[in-house]
Structure 1
Amino acid sequence: MKFTAISAISLAVVLTGGAAVAQDREGWPDSFTVGTASQGGTYFAYGSGWANLVADELGISGGGEVTGGPMQNMALVHTGDAAFGMTTMGPAAESLAGTNPIAPGLEMTGACAIFPMYQTPFSVTALASSGIESVSDIPDGARIGFGPAGSTSDTYFPQMMDTLGVNYDRRNGGWSDLGGQLQDGLLDVIAFAAGVPVPAVSQLEVQTDVNIIEFTEEEQAQLLEAFPVSSFEIAADTYSTLEEPARSVSMWNFAIAGCDLPEDFIYEVVDIVMSDNERMVNIHRAATSTLPENWDKNTVLPWHPGAARWFEENAGADIADDMIGG
């Protein structure tokens, strides 16, 4: 059988899923990175997972990159040093306003929202042997690990502890490192803002007895009044240590992309992530909230045009024109 020009075109259509798809890939990147956070945290596990999923589905090289977390991710995506990143609404608002501590005065308008991820609960963990069972039990001058410098934890949790009247010695580091320091007695408390279950806390549970400390109703009310957070309960089945839900507060996370990336490329990325939640939950349990209907939790960032089109076509989203970037 002759392998004609027509046959070659037909084969190309089969391999790409259609001639339109092949044409749409003009201008697409050959590779990409997703700015996550430190190893041992939810951002790294979740971000690396969806990066690998997208890379496999689109046949493009891609993966997660260790970063300092939401603030740095906003900067990396704004400058084009990373195609994608992950951020929380608080750091996103600060970055747009030009108050990101990484680049004070720079309004990071080059980063656009592409899909909702999950809520980040603020949770406190101590060794059971410490006797710390509540926030009020934390002794004056306690050595508290707040996560990587510039992360959501490091940006907001010290302020929260100030609000709750806790006096502390502030420490920073990667999630895995801080978990190890707590176990070795080098820290008294770790205060994590991360999707649950936090891998470092789950690892601690396997190795030693820990207390996962909830906020009292009064403490929760204080934080809700003072910070851009929502009420949250850490489900009892999140950690083996918990016997009942733990009262907390949380902040929404969104995936971000460079606003100038091709619209069709971002549409396909969003479609892969949002069209099969089971695959995302298999990557990380926090993805139970990675659902189309949560598009409206973004009240801060401009949407990438490709993402806006996906949510308008598939989730009935009504996104105002002035909330679409690019």
Structure 2
Amino acid sequence: MKTQLVMAAAFASTLVVANPASAQDREGWPDSFTVGTASQGGTYFAYGSGWANFVAENLGISGGAEITGGPMQNMALVHTGNLQFGLTTMGPARESMEGNSPLAPGVKMDNVCAIFPMYETPFSVTALSDSGITSISDIPDGATIGFGPAGSTSDTYFPRMMETLGVNFERRNGSWSDLGTQLQDGLIDVVAFAAGIPIPAVSQLEVQTDVNIIGMTDEEAKKITDNFPVSEFVIPASTYQSLEKDSRVVSMWNFAIANCDVPESLVYEITKLTMENNDKMVSIHKAARTSIPKNYTKNTVLPWHPGAARWFNENGYEIPESQIK
């Protein structure tokens, strides 16, 4: 899969948050690091590239974000050590840990560790206003639906959800930016987004055309939560200018991950920096409002990296030894 590396240089003069580099135990630290994100136009890329820059600037090492296929591919790349860090969603993480990843069937990706909670990924549908589609039940038989990059959270779960809700569709994959353009040009009927809010591609669409951001009925939400590892979620009306009221959907939690062999001291400093500076994280992306320590309990799948677990335990968030790699 073609990837693009987006690197951020780090300079000592920009150290404004972390402790001085000389005060840190740097044994075994790499000269640089890379974070696996997802396609451009999605929240993972905006969040991951901003976070990588923040870490690089404050810890004095070069770092950046790599465009990938999303959570499934990030699990594989981090497991093998091709990337030190990545972003993933709990559903794909579980499937990868159990050896059920479509990228490597039978391979248990168990060298991936959690480092901190990110945000919930809502599953929502967007269509052009002039399409007349205002609900999931309005999606016409045989409609072409864009599900994001192949292997992404949306591509893994949203087609199954649509089938569960009785929607008959043609499947289309691509980056969120590309699918947004295809929707605007009338080449596809619907985009089924799964990304932290606000989704950059949706915000861009709103500027260029009139769209309907479609939620779920009570019955639809119950059917999906009964059949998938998700919970109900409400997209506040203030998230998008196209929403006149809150929109009920479903969501899945995301966590930042590390290869379990990354030095404990480095992961400790990264966790400390991230968890103790939420205002900075929110300035990177509004979805980071929930990137806060108390949400560590949302990880029910991955073992914790020892460096991350040390910070949480030192600050009153108990992670038992049995859950640490």
* TM-score of the two chains, using structure 2 as the length reference: 0.93
- In the alignment, residue 201 of structure 2 is paired with which amino acid? A
Paired positions, count:
308
Which residue number in structure 2 is paired with residue 93 of structure 1?
Answer: 94
- Please say if 1:17 is aligned against 2:6: no
Aligned amino acid, residue 117 of structure 1: M
Q: Residue deviations 1:40-81, cap 9 Å, x none? A: 000000000000000000111001100000000000000000
When structure 1 is superposed on structure 2, of 265-274 and 177-186 the one drifting more is 265-274
CA distance in 2, matches of 1:91, 1:271: 26
CA distance in 2, matches of 1:18, 1:211: 49
1:27 and 1:91, CA in 2 relative to 1: closer, same or farther beyond 3 A? same
Structure 2 residue ranges without an equivalent (≥5): 1-17
SS in 1 for 2:272: helix
Aligned residue for 1:190? Answer: 191
Question: Is there any run of 5+ residues in structure 1 with no aligned partner, and where?
Answer: 1-14
Opposite residue 153 of structure 1, the aligned amino acid is S
Alignment of 1:43-192 (within 5 A): 43-192=44-193
Instruction: Measure how far apart 1:283 and its partner are.
Output: 0.4
Instruction: Please state how far the C-alpha of 1:318 moved relative to its aligned partner.
Output: 1.8
Q: 2:242 aligns to what SS in structure 1?
A: coil
What is the match of residue 207 of structure 2? 206
CA–CA distance in structure 2, aligned partners of residues 16 and 40 of structure 1: 33
Q: State the distance in 2 between where 1:272 and 1:65 align.
A: 21
User: Corresponding residue for 2:286?
Assistant: 285
Where does residue 241 of structure 2 map in the other structure?
A: 240
**C-alpha displacement of 1:319:** 1.4
TM-score by length of 1: 0.93
CA deviations 1:262-296 (Å, max 9, x no partner) are 11100000111110111001100100110010000
CA distance in 1 between counterparts of 2:21 and 2:251 reads 43
Q: What is aligned with 2:5?
A: none
Instruction: Provide the residue aligned with 1:267 in structure 2.
Output: 268
The Cα shift of 1:134 comes to: 0.2
RMSD: 1.1
Partner of 1:319: 319
Secondary structure at the counterpart of residue 253 of structure 2: strand
Q: Which amino acid aligns with 2:20?
A: G
Say if 2:21 and 2:60, in contact at 8 Å, map to a contact too.
no
| Cα distance in 2, alignment partners of residues 49 and 167 from structure 1 | 38
> Match for residue 254 of structure 2?
253
Return the letter of the residue paired with 2:260.
Answer: C
What is the CA–CA distance in structure 2 between the aligned matches of 1:159 and 1:18, rounded to whole Å?
Answer: 48
TM-superposed deviation, 1:17: 3.0
